[in-house]
Structure 1
Amino acid sequence: MNSRIEKPASTSLVYLDRAPPPFFVGRRDALTQFTASWQDVLAGHPRVFLIAGEAGVGKTKLLTECQTLARHLQANVYAGRCYEGQFLPYAPFAEALNQLSEAEAEIPEEPLDHIKQDREILNRLLLQRVPANADLVQAEQVESDRLRLFLAISRTMVALARRHPMLFVADDLHWADQPTLELLAHLVFTATQAAEQHPVPMLILSAYRPEEDRPRLVRSIQRLQREEHCETVTLTGLDEADIDDLIRHMCQGRPSSQLLDTIRDITHGNPLFIQETLYHLEQQQALCMQDGDLVTTAAAEAFRLPEHLTSVIRERIDGLSVNCRRVLTLAACLGERFSFDTLARASELNEDDLLDLLEEGLEQRLLINTGPDFQFAHALICQAFYHLPSVRRRQRLHGQIAEALEQLHESKLDTAFSQIASHLVRAGSAAKAEKLIHYGCQAGDDAFAAFDWSLAAHYYNAVLTTAEAVPAAGELDWGSLYYRAGLSHCNSGDYGLGLGLYDRAIEAYQTTGDLEGQGEALIRKALRQASGNFGTLIDLQPLEDLLERLGGRRPDCAAVSLRPSPYSTGRVDRERRRRRWHSAPWRSVKKLAMPCSVRRQVFIWLWPR
């Protein structure tokens, strides 16, 4: 069956259509389940529909088909996705709400009022519009603002669903950060509770790759699946009939049993693998028509797919021109989806030359262009290009992109801090230390303001690692930087790292004689230890010594905020902090001879979290 077939003179070679396939093959059972869930939604019951499957199995294609079906059934569809390697808190919600913002004129009054009431906090999500001169929010206000954000989004989406049946789509959930997963869960539970009072016709549709090395994703999915209104469809390879349909659509011919069996054995029915295998056979001139059937003249072992399809994609990449490979490698550093303008600035090519190279990628079906941006046809193709160069060269490419982004957003840098910082961090030693420190601090502040504490900790850690290796970084406010990193880690649940950073902040404040910073760090550390180490004695002596030095005076609780940015260390800021430090009397904790649990409550009362 898999032996090589000699090509007789009567055969004709087959060439595949390079246009993106508009057809949808198989998945009838999954569509039937989706339709049944939608009928429940129309009855006023919110539903969650999860699609799981390996890379290339057709999750996104099924999502697109479900959206088309929902629109045909007169549903309002709001769609977003998560992105690999791009630090965008709440990305699918931001994209969906931006669609909502663009259509505000058609929004019913009830949700529109909610948006107006919470405009400031929603703006942190939409386009990350945080006031440039705003200090970080108070530590005790963080949870409150985060709850306001969750409530504002959930309330708006529930109100819209009550007005008209809604489908909310979040694709590539395996790339989601922790805040996005928590907001998704909050929306699900809010819609469920609201439906107990009044109908909420909302369906939440999401696709993800099951990955055991992402414990937060696993826990979040398991949490959703415990709800009776959650349904999960796991996609596997196409069956023989669907493989036959896919080959017929792509090759405009009837596949022979020999070709069908070979493709099935190699790809296990994975749609992406089937397409790539057929393109590979075409490039090898190993597809031809023989007696009305489509056959292959190559033995299966000659083109058997490796574990992740890498070698086959590499062979297609090798067929590109040198300049096209270079441009697409640079594009892969931008991500799976990339902006033409950013790539043009980073590559330093004129528009016509760049379009010629991108069109070469489109012709080879390595890229997709359905709007102003370009996108790799699949994440595996993007990864293959990304890993073409050496690590050192890849770092240089990220540094090149950071410079391009800096030039493109010169007039409004505050909207691009996270993008620039992300590429500078990936640039490693190829990045200029002073730029990484500057943009890393700003991106960390923005992430904290958006309640993405893991991302904030990521940027602060990168800044600290870089600054500690640069002698010229001695002018930084080290205490503030350590403190902010420690607070970010503690808020994200990394208590051990957070406490260690608090200790380093205390040492730095002692070195500079900053009593306010020292007091804040000591109290935050004590609160963290008191809330997590029940029955364990806490060393409060350093805090008691500081209180004694201060002569029984403390800052006003209502005015306590997180430390200002390391770049806000001017004389005016220091005078303001000094006045605030002596603005109210302090009752010495040293005199309170109480058990640790009571003392902990006093601490919490004096310093609201």
Structure 2
Amino acid sequence: MREHSDPQFSSPVFVGREPEAVELRQGLANVLAGTGRLFLISGEPGIGKTRLAEELGKEARGRGARVLWGRCWDGEGAPAFWPWTQIFRAAVGNTNADRFDLLTDTDATHVVSLVPGLASSRGSSALPPLRVLASAEPAEARFRLFDSAARLLKEIANTAPLVIVLDDLQQADQSSLLMLRFIARELKEASILILGTFREAEVRASPALSRLISEIAGEGRQIVLGGFSQSELAAFVEQRLGSAPGASLLAALMQSTAGNPLFVDSVLRMLIAERKELNGELLSSRDFKVPDAVAETVRRRLSFLSESARAILSIGAVCGQEFEFDCLREVSGITGEALITALDEALRDGLLYSVLAGNLRYRFAHNLIRATIYGDVPAAKRIELHWQIAQTLERIHQADLTAHSAEIAHHYLGSVAVGSPAKAINYSIQAGEAALEVSAYEEARHQWQAAVALMERYETNSSRRIDLLYKLGKLTYEAIDFAEGIACFEHALNLCRQRSDNRRNAILLLALGRAKTRWTPQANIGNGLNHYRAAEALIDRNQLDLLGELYHGRTLADFDAMLIDEGLDVSAQALKIYQKVGDKCLWTVIAAHRA
């Protein structure tokens, strides 16, 4: 639950959850004594997961710990590692000069790549040049990034214990969850407490997500929150109303909300807004029907806002779970004072809260609120707003489009029907490349798949489509899924065969040859060798890069297939190529196979 400022409500205090709070306080005591802990809090939307985390944060700050929050988005344009970006931005970006010296460590330079603008904001001499993570093998690059992140957090925790809250993990990108799993295993002797929250049903709906969350939970303790008990509900309602509720009101609330704090709070607010005068006895005797779904409760709450406030919330909902004041102002066309008045109205009603992170931003108090509002925006209007938001974000962030490419791509994708497919494709490609640079392979795949899907409709004869399919295949084969990578190569080859482009055809045949001759479940050495032979017929003798790759691949495959004579022949050709281009490393590899 979020703190509200409705004058008809008493100032909210924390109610119930005593067993869970005791366990978390004990975990905090462990961390203050130097032993790291991990907790995951699960439950349905609105059950109080975030509020319980907030209470732990208050306790931790009171005992000298630093509390850092990373909030996850549900895929609406957020860059890879977004929750961790927020954590490192808060941990390092606003720190004092002495603590910032930690970043001069080589490990820390990896982490800076997750926080756009951090290095430049400190001056050119503050940091050594960033490593290019993509230059390493995918698994190695990701390990180095995760290890650097863990080491930096430990160093920061040496100055003061850390409490890290990762909210709404069911919305996190897979790269963020993999980093959490890695860091969780490094907590044993660190003064760090990590607390993650997630919605149980949404995690269960995805087998892959469920497995990953289970692995993370296995590194610590999972706390499952249910609805309020009868006594907790009574205390909660009394705290909200300022007087003891009647039995009939409590019975109706429990029956209709199952003790979900958000639902209870929403119903009470609706009733108060309708009656204008609050009286516990009046509410208990009133013959009211609680809405069947919280969406209806949200709609009723919205009905008591001004038209301008509702319009602003509709635009904000299309922007995303979190949105910028500057973007909202440009898209809405409402003047500054009127806009602030409308936003204040939503803030007072507890529908939004402000996020002070650089430029002023606002966030919906709960994703259910945002989802309800977004769903009620007519489809045609949503498309138009996505188009306007995309253009506005381009203007606002013109100096640093790469850092916002995923968000801009999301809005151009949402407005393809009336907007620019080319821009949607371009930004999706750019967002994928940005994700790849920080080893967020799943996010890169997601962005490139979106671009390929649009190209299927709008760039059917484009060589760029073939090239992107090749890159997507290379990424997925090397870092995510062998079969998916091979399927991308085959799709690209089928398209390329319709063109007179020997070089591209050869590159794709080489990729398939390499993929089919590696020891994976998809291996088929005979088929792979056929691909290599087909590629050889297309390669010019002066294309040394392709010839080197061909003979290198053939050498390994022929020897694996026990085709010794052919292997010796092609390996001799490979040695000549590598000697000619001066590649001592690959020359040594081939020579070793001939030995």
Q: TM-score, normalised by structure 1?
A: 0.81
Going from structure 1 to structure 2, the CA distance change for 1:584 and 1:179 (only over 3 Å counts) comes to closer
**How far does the alpha carbon of each residue in 1:214-254 deviate from its partner, in whole angstroms, 9 at most, with x for none?**
22331122113333xx1111111122232222222221222
Name the aligned partner's letter for residue 126 of structure 1.
V
Q: Which amino acid aligns with 1:92?
A: P
Q: Which position in structure 2 is the counterpart of 1:97?
A: 88
Structure 1 position 500 matched with structure 2 position 490: no
Partner of 1:572: none
> Structure 1 counterpart of 2:554, which letter?
V
Moved more, 53-62 or 281-290: 281-290
The equivalent position to 1:545 in structure 2, one of 534, 537, 545, is 534
Q: Partners in 1 of 2:230 and 2:138 — Cα distance?
A: 54
Aligned pairs for 1:108-187 within 5 A: 108=99, 111-114=102-105, 116-119=106-109, 121-127=110-116, 141-187=137-183
2:75 to 55, 72, 85: 85
- 2:160 & 2:547 partners in 1: Cα distance? 56
Gap runs ≥5 in structure 1: 1-14, 556-579
| Conservation of the 8 A alpha-carbon contact between 1:286 and 1:298 | no
- Residue in 2 aligned with 1:528? 515
CA distance in 2 between counterparts of 1:592 and 1:219 reads 35
Q: Residue 244 of structure 2 corresponds to which residue in structure 1?
A: 254
For the pair 1:353 / 2:344, whether they are aligned, the reply is no
Q: Which of 204, 208, 213 lines up with 2:205 in the alignment?
A: 213
Query: Structure 2: which amino acid aligns with 1:39?
Result: A
* Matching residue of 2:127: none
Change (3 A) 1:583 1:594: closer
TM-score after normalising by structure 2: 0.83
Partner residue in 2 for 1:44? 34
Q: Is the aligned partner of 1:364 residue 2:354?
A: no
Compared CA separation, residues 63 and 485, structure 1 to 2 (3 A): same
Cα deviation, residue 140, structure 1: 5.4
Q: 1:448 to 1:330 in 2, by over 3 A?
A: same
- Correspondence for 1:444: 432
Identity of aligned residues (%): 24
**Residues 141-177 of structure 1 deviation map (CA, whole Å, 9 limit, x = unaligned):** 3333222211110111122334432212211111111
- Which residue type is aligned with residue 545 of structure 1? A
SS state at 1:167 partner? strand
2:215 equivalent in structure 1: 223
Aligned length: 549
CA contact 2:39–2:194 (8 Å) conserved in 1 = yes
Match of 1:340 among 314, 320, 325: 325
Confirm whether residue 330 of structure 1 aligns to residue 315 of structure 2.
Answer: yes
**How far apart are the structure 1 equivalents of 2:486 and 2:478?**
11
Instruction: Say if 1:17 and 1:251, in contact at 8 Å, map to a contact too.
Output: no
The question of whether the paired residues in 2 share the 8 Å contact of 1:332 and 1:383 is answered with yes
How far apart, in 2, do the equivalents of 1:105 and 1:63 lie?
26
Which is further off, 256-265 or 402-411?
256-265
Letter of the 2:290 counterpart: R
In the aligned structure 1, how far is the partner of 2:383 from the partner of 2:96? 45
Q: Per the alignment, do residues 20 and 552 of structure 1 end up closer, same or farther by CA in structure 2, a change over 3 Å counting?
A: farther
Tell me by how many angstroms 1:549 deviates.
Answer: 4.5
User: What is the aligned partner in structure 2 of residue 282 from structure 1?
Assistant: 272
1-structure distance, mates of 2:336, 2:526: 64
Equivalent of residue 7 in structure 2, options 4, 17, 39: 17
- Provide the C-alpha distance between the structure 2 equivalents of 1:318 and 1:305, rounded to a whole number of angstroms: 14
The answer (yes or no) to whether the contact 1:130–1:446 under 8 Å persists in 2 is no
Given residue 176 of structure 1, which amino acid in structure 2 is its aligned partner? A
Matched residue type, 1:312 = T
CA contact (8 A) 2:112 2:119 kept: yes
- Counterpart residue number, 1:389: 377
1:543 alignment partner AA: Y
Structure-1 residue corresponding to 2:43: 53
Instruction: Provide the residue aligned with 1:565 in structure 2.
Output: none
CA distance, structure 2, for counterparts of residue 412 and residue 110 of structure 1: 25
Amino acid at match of 1:164: A
Q: Separation in 1 of the partners of 2:337 and 2:255?
A: 43
Give secondary structure in 1 for the equivalent of 2:60: helix
Unaligned stretches of 5+ residues in structure 2:
121-129, 575-585, 591-595
Q: CA separation of 1:422/1:596 partners in 2, compared to 1, >3 Å: closer, same or farther?
A: farther
Asked if 2 retains the 8 angstrom alpha-carbon contact of 1:488 and 1:498, the reply is yes
- Is the alpha carbon distance of 1:590 and 1:264 closer, same or farther for their aligned partners in structure 2, counting shifts above 3 Å? closer
**Cα distance in 2 between the residues matched to 1:139 and 1:517:** 23
